[in-house]
Every structure is written in structure tokens, then in C-alpha cells.
């Protein structure tokens, strides 16, 4: 099977064909760094990671760009209240974003451009839009004239009937009911200069709107036409609609060939999680409540298909933790079991089939939950064969290959246990004090316990070092 993706633009599942053979240019909307990312945002970010990983598995070289919105209405408000510049205000949240991504084992992407570092590109694009008659200046702000772009609304299937020509909206986020000419540039307000949020432009001192940054930065890093543009479903209108209008009106080229949208994460009542509804949960909150980041990762990418809503609950996270544990235990068991002399022919055949079916599930619009279900069924079957000591060397190799396929997406099986390094260091210190107290039985027991967990201690003149031992 070839890779098929559900393209929001056409409403169909389509065979994926990039513009340039074997190369994929992908742009994904990143965080607004006004606060810690909430788990709903993290679901979208890990969805991007899943797309990226599966493209790589499929043999593509991926250039993936994810922006950081470090200027918007909320950041200005918060920085003003905190008495800081916007740079100072966003700094800890930028750091927290990268920490969260590392904790959740999202691969680093090729570029994370920041809006405030690309103002000239935005000013250029706005100038072009004004020259082309797609934008106009009103009271020092610059607005995109949506009646100048007949395709406006195609992505989100907007009914243009109620569209009022010339009505303007200055806020970055608004509902479909108030579809209007939207701001590309907002003139400087008193205080903006002090916040470090005011730039010179031919059309007057000001700062960019939210939407123009993605159009300008994607062009700067990936060119005029993207193979894939992805985002959370809440960005489809108006943000992505506005990105299309700006980019296509300025470049006269199709902006993105495939649009992918991941669904909301719902809270326990099934509603979309949002700060205003009090459902604002961060990764830090979940980890502090005792949840394993690997379980959170698995839950967010594999509990439901990316186009379905998924409900966050402690039970669901415990179930995901159990899945992580089962996969890791199984991988460990396959590694450690001494091979039987004979191969298990039926098992070999089934393992090969499951590898193909797993790959097919991912090729079918990234259906990881379905693929993973097949793998868990097979783990049961293989465990029974291991119990009966009927697994040969080739059986072991093919089971390892299947787990390798799965972990190319999940990245939880071979992941270091969170907190492992600290725990080992603590046990090493305990062993040292036991030896100093001449309690050699206890010191040996600590060493043996660690060995059973696949960790070897080496005494050297610089102290005790530890390393993983493979079976
Ligand atoms: Zn965007």
C-alpha cells in the first residue's frame, strides 16, 4: 500500500505525492509561548511528530518547520502586567516548550523560527499584498481584503453569503460568524515600544498580526508551495484560511497541497479542553500527578485516531502506562529468552503478516491505534510461544524487527525510563555507603538487583560508572 492521507482541502483520503521526489516540505503551527502548553496543544505537536516519523519510515527526507509565536495579543497583555519586555516574558515558556517536547520524545524539527526574528519577511509580504490590492491601510492598521480573494473559505467550507465587505476584525482569533477583513499589521499603541513590540514599516510603526507570520516564515524556510501543512482543527478557521489567502494572493501559487488537522483533546465531560473552561492541564501537572511521560506520549498518539476526539482521564493514562509496560517487558523477554533449536513456523508466518498489516494501517491515514491493536494481539500469541519455549533464532529476529517497526512511531520501547539515571546514581551512593560500613552483602545485593535490570556497575579509580548491558 502507498501512503494515503486525509486532505482537509478536498475532504478525501488521497495518495500522498510530494512535489519533489523523496523530499517532503512540511510546516506545522507551533505554540504561542504565552504560557505552558496544555495537553490539547501537545496532542497536536505529537501528531506532527507522528506524521514526520511515518514519512521518514516511508523513505522520505523531511524538512519540517514549526514556528514559535512569540508576539500576540495575550503576550503583550501579560508582559505589560508583569512589567517585562515580550522577550523576557516568553523566555521561560520557550524553554518549557522544548523541555516538554524532549520529555515527550518528539523529534527535533529542522527549524523553529520565531515571529519576532522574521519581521522583515512579514513586512515584505504585507507590502506585496498592498501593491496587489489585496490589502489596505485603515487608521494605521493594515487589513487583508477578503473580497479580493474569491477562494476565501474553501478550506473550512465557509458560507460566504453572510460576508460583509469592508467589515474589519482586529483580534487574531474570532468565530466564523464574524468573518471579516483581518489584521495583517497593527499600529503601535502607547507602551508597545517599551515592551519591545514595535517595528518600523513603510505603512507605519506597528507589529504583525498572528496569521501573517506563518505565511512569511513558511515561505522563507520552505518556499511558496508546501507539501504538507498541519495543525490542530481549531486553527482551520480563521488561521489556516487566512494563511492561504495571504500566501496565495502574494505568491500566485498554491500554498499547501495537503492539509492535515488533528482533533481536540476532550476533558472528562467530552468538551474541548481550554483554559477558559478550567480544563487547563499541562504536562507538568500530569507528571506531578504521577503519570509517566511515556504513557502520556502513547496515550496522545495511539489512544484514538488523530481525526477523532479523545478524552483525557487518569484511567486512560493508566491503561497507556500498562501498554508501555507490556511492550517493554515483551521486548525484554524476546531479547533474553534463549532460542529454541527449532523455528516456530506458524509464528514466523504470523509475525511477517502483522508487520505488513501494521505498515498498511499507518499508510492508511496514520491509523496507529488500529496497527497497535494488531501488534498487541500478536504479543499475546508470541508470549504463548515463548512460554512453551518454542521460539527459534529467526523467530526472535523477526519479533525484534516488528518491535522496531512499532517503536519507529512510538519511541517508548527503547526509551530510557524517566528518572532512571537519578535512581541508579542514588543506588550507587547507597552501595558505596554499604561498602564503607563493611556491609558487603548489601552492596552485592544492590549490584545484583541493577544487573537484573540490565545495568552493569564498573568500579574504576574515578569512582563507580554504570552502563546498560544488552542481552
Ligand atoms: Zn500557523
**Spacing, Cα 442 to ligand 1 middle (Å):** 57
332, 361 contact by CB (below 8 A): no
Residue recorded with cell 467550507: 157
The answer to whether the bond into 469 is cis (omega within 30° of 0) is no
**Spacing, Cα 252 to ligand 1 middle (Å):** 19
Query: Whole-angstrom Cα distance, residue 274 to residue 280?
Result: 6
**Spacing, Cα 465 to ligand 1 middle (Å):** 46
**Spacing, Cα 31 to ligand 1 middle (Å):** 9
350, 381 contact by CB (below 8 A): yes
Q: pLDDT, tens digit, for every residue of 401-448?
A: 999 999 999 999 988 765 677 788 899 999 999 999 999 999 999 999
Q: Is 303 helix (H, G, I), strand (E, B) or coil?
A: coil
Q: pLDDT, tens digit, for every residue of 304-345?
A: 999 999 999 899 999 999 999 999 999 999 998 999 999 999
DSSP 74-103: HHHHHHHHHT--HHHHHHHHHHHHHHHHHH
Query: Whole-angstrom Cα distance, residue 40 to residue 33?
Result: 14
**Would the pLDDT of 164 be above 80?**
no
**Spacing, Cα 431 to ligand 1 middle (Å):** 53
**Spacing, Cα 408 to ligand 1 middle (Å):** 27
Q: What angle do CA 75, 76, 82 make, to 5 degrees?
A: 85
Q: pLDDT, tens digit, for every residue of 364-405?
A: 999 999 999 999 999 999 999 999 999 999 999 999 999 999
Residue of 176 and 137 predicted with greater confidence: 137
24, 228 contact by CB (below 8 A): yes
pLDDT band, residue 471 (cuts 50/70/90): very low
pLDDT band, residue 470 (cuts 50/70/90): low
Query: Whole-angstrom Cα distance, residue 31 to residue 262?
Result: 15
**Spacing, Cα 48 to ligand 1 middle (Å):** 13
**Spacing, Cα 311 to ligand 1 middle (Å):** 25
**Spacing, Cα 330 to ligand 1 middle (Å):** 41
Q: Is 52 helix (H, G, I), strand (E, B) or coil?
A: helix
**Spacing, Cα 214 to ligand 1 middle (Å):** 5
Q: Which protein residues have their CB within 5 A of the ion that is ligand 1?
A: 29, 214
Q: pLDDT, tens digit, for every residue of 19-63?
A: 999 999 999 999 999 999 999 999 999 999 999 999 999 999 999
**Spacing, Cα 373 to ligand 1 middle (Å):** 33
**Spacing, Cα 240 to ligand 1 middle (Å):** 6
**Spacing, Cα 363 to ligand 1 middle (Å):** 26
Q: Output the nine-digit C-alpha cell for 182.
A: 483581518
Query: Whole-angstrom Cα distance, residue 136 to residue 130?
Result: 6
**Spacing, Cα 122 to ligand 1 middle (Å):** 13
**Spacing, Cα 248 to ligand 1 middle (Å):** 15
**Spacing, Cα 448 to ligand 1 middle (Å):** 53
**Spacing, Cα 321 to ligand 1 middle (Å):** 32
The reported pTM is: 0.89
**Spacing, Cα 315 to ligand 1 middle (Å):** 33
**Spacing, Cα 153 to ligand 1 middle (Å):** 16
Q: Which residues contact 413 (CB under 8 A, 6 or more apart)?
A: 327, 328, 331, 403, 406, 407
**Spacing, Cα 305 to ligand 1 middle (Å):** 22
In the chain, what percentage of residues exceed pLDDT 70? 96
**Spacing, Cα 249 to ligand 1 middle (Å):** 17
Amino acid at each position: 500500500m502507498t501512503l494515503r492521507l486525509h486532505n482537509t482541502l478536498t475532504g478525501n483520503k488521497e495518495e500522498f505525492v510530494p512535489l519533489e521526489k523523496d523530499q517532503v516540505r512540511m510546516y506545522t503551527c507551533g505554540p504561542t509561548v504565552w504560557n505552558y502548553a496544555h495537553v490539547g496543544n501537545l496532542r497536536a505537536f505529537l501528531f506532527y511528530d507522528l506524521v514526520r516519523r511515518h514519512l521518514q519510515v516511508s523513505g522520505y527526507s523531511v524538512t519540517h518547520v514549526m514556528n514559535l509565536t512569540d508576539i500576540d495579543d495575550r503576550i503583550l497583555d501579560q508582559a505589560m502586567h508583569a512589567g517585562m519586555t515580550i522577550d523576557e516574558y516568553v523566555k521561560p515558556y520557550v524553554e518549557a516548550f522544548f523541555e516538554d517536547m524532549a520529555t515527550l520524545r518528539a523529534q527535533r524539527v529542522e527549524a523553529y523560527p520565531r515571529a519576532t526574528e522574521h519581521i522583515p519577511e512579514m513586512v515584505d509580504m504585507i507590502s506585496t499584498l498592498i501593491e496587489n490590492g489585496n490589502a489596505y491601510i485603515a487608521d494605521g492598521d493594515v487589513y487583508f481584503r477578503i473580497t479580493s480573494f474569491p477562494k476565501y473559505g474553501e478550506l473550512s467550507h465557509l458560507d460566504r453569503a453572510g460576508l460583509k465587505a469592508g467589515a474589519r476584525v482586529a483580534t487574531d482569533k474570532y468565530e466564523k460568524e464574524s468573518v471579516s477583513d483581518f489584521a495583517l499589521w497593527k499600529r503601535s499603541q502607547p507602551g508597545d515600544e517599551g515592551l519591545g513590540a514595535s517595528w518600523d514599516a513603510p505603512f507605519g510603526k506597528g507589529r504583525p498580526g498572528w496569521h501573517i507570520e506563518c505565511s512569511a516564515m513558511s515561505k522563507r524556510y520552505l518556499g511558496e508551495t508546501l507539501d504538507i501543512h498541519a495543525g490542530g482543527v481549531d486553527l482551520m478557521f480563521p488561521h489556516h484560511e487566512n494563511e492561504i489567502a495571504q500566501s496565495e494572493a502574494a505568491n500566485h501559487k498554491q500554498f499547501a497541497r495537503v492539509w492535515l488537522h488533528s482533533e481536540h483533546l476532550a476533558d472528562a465531560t467530552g468538551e474541548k479542553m481550554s483554559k477558559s473552561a478550567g480544563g487547563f492541564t499541562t504536562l507538568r501537572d500530569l507528571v506531578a500527578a504521577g503519570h509517566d511521560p511515556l504513557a502520556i506520549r502513547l496515550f496522545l498518539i495511539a489512544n484514538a485516531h488523530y481525526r477523532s476526539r479523545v478524552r483525557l482521564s487518569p484511567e486512560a493514562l493508566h491503561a497507556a502506562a500498562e501498554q508501555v509496560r507490556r511492550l517493554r517487558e515483551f521486548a525484554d523477554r524476546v531479547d533474553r529468552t534463549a532460542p529454541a533449536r527449532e523455528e516456530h513456523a506458524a509464528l514466523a508466518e504470523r509475525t511477517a503478516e502483522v508487520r505488513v498489516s501494521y505498515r498498511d494501517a499507518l499508510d492508511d491515514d496514520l491509523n496507529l491505534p488500529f496497527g497497535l491493536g494488531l501488534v498487541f494481539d500478536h504479543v499475546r500469541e508470541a508470549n504463548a510461544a515463548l512460554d512453551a519455549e518454542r521460539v527459534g533464532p529467526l523467530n526472535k529476529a523477526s519479533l525484534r524487527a516488528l518491535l522496531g517497526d512499532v517503536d519507529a512511531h512510538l519511541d517508548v520501547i527503547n526509551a530510557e525510563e524517566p528518572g532512571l539515571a537519578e535512581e541508579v546514581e542514588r543506588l550507587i551512593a547507597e552501595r558505596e555507603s554499604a561498602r564503607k560500613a563493611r556491609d558487603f552483602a548489601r552492596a552485592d545485593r544492590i549490584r545484583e538487583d541493577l544487573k537484573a535490570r540490565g545495568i552493569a556497575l564498573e568500579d574504576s579509580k574515578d569512582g563507580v560508572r554504570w552502563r546498560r548491558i544488552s542481552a
